[in-house]
Structure 1
Amino acid sequence: MRATYITAVVFSAAFGLLVTLPINSASAQACGGPMPFETAREAMESLIADPSATSSVRGGWAVFERRNGDLTEFWTFTPKDHPAFPSVARRMGCRNADGAWNVRTNLICQSTKTACDALLHEYMLLDEQMKESIRKRHGSGT
Structure 2
Amino acid sequence: MHRLVRAAGLAVSFGSAGAVLAQGVEYPSVAAALTALKAKPGVTVSANDGWTIITDGNVNWSFTPANHYAHPAVGRRELKGDQGRFFVETRILCQAQKAACDRLRDDYALLDRRMNEAIQRDLQKK
Match of 1:35 among 25, 49, 61: 25
State the Cα distance separating 1:106 from its structure 2 match. Answer: 0.5
One-letter code aligned to 1:59: D
What is the root-mean-square deviation in Å for CA atoms of aligned residues?
Answer: 2.6
Q: Does 1:73 align with 2:59?
A: yes
- d(CA) in 1 for partners of 2:42, 2:59: 11
Tell me: CA distance 1:74–1:48, structure 2 relative to 1, closer, same or farther (3 Å): same
Conserved in 2, the CA contact under 8 Å of 1:103 and 1:130? Answer: yes
State the Cα distance separating 1:21 from its structure 2 match. Answer: 5.0
> TM-score with structure 1 length normalisation?
0.70
State the Cα distance separating 1:9 from its structure 2 match. Answer: 4.6
> TM-score with structure 2 length normalisation?
0.78
Conserved in 2, the CA contact under 8 Å of 1:57 and 1:63? Answer: yes
- d(CA) in 2 for partners of 1:7, 1:44: 24
The equivalent of 2:46 in structure 1 is 56
- d(CA) in 1 for partners of 2:63, 2:6: 17
The equivalent of 2:113 in structure 1 is 128
State the Cα distance separating 1:41 from its structure 2 match. Answer: 0.7
Count residues with an aligned counterpart.
Answer: 115
Which consecutive residues of structure 2, in runs of 5 or more, have no partner in the other structure? 14-22
Which consecutive residues of structure 1, in runs of 5 or more, have no partner in the other structure? 12-18, 24-32
- d(CA) in 2 for partners of 1:117, 1:125: 12
Q: Does 1:90 align with 2:45?
A: no
SS of 1:137's equivalent?
A: helix
- d(CA) in 1 for partners of 2:43, 2:99: 31
SS of 2:68's equivalent?
A: coil
- d(CA) in 1 for partners of 2:41, 2:32: 16
- d(CA) in 2 for partners of 1:8, 1:49: 31
The equivalent of 1:27 in structure 2 is none
Question: What are the superposed Cα offsets for residues 65-89 of structure 1, whole Å, 9 maximum, x if unpaired?
Answer: 111xxxx001000100112111001
Tell me which of the two structures has the higher relative contact order, counting C-alpha pairs closer than 8 angstroms and 6 or more residues apart.
1
One-letter code aligned to 2:92: L
SS of 1:51's equivalent?
A: coil
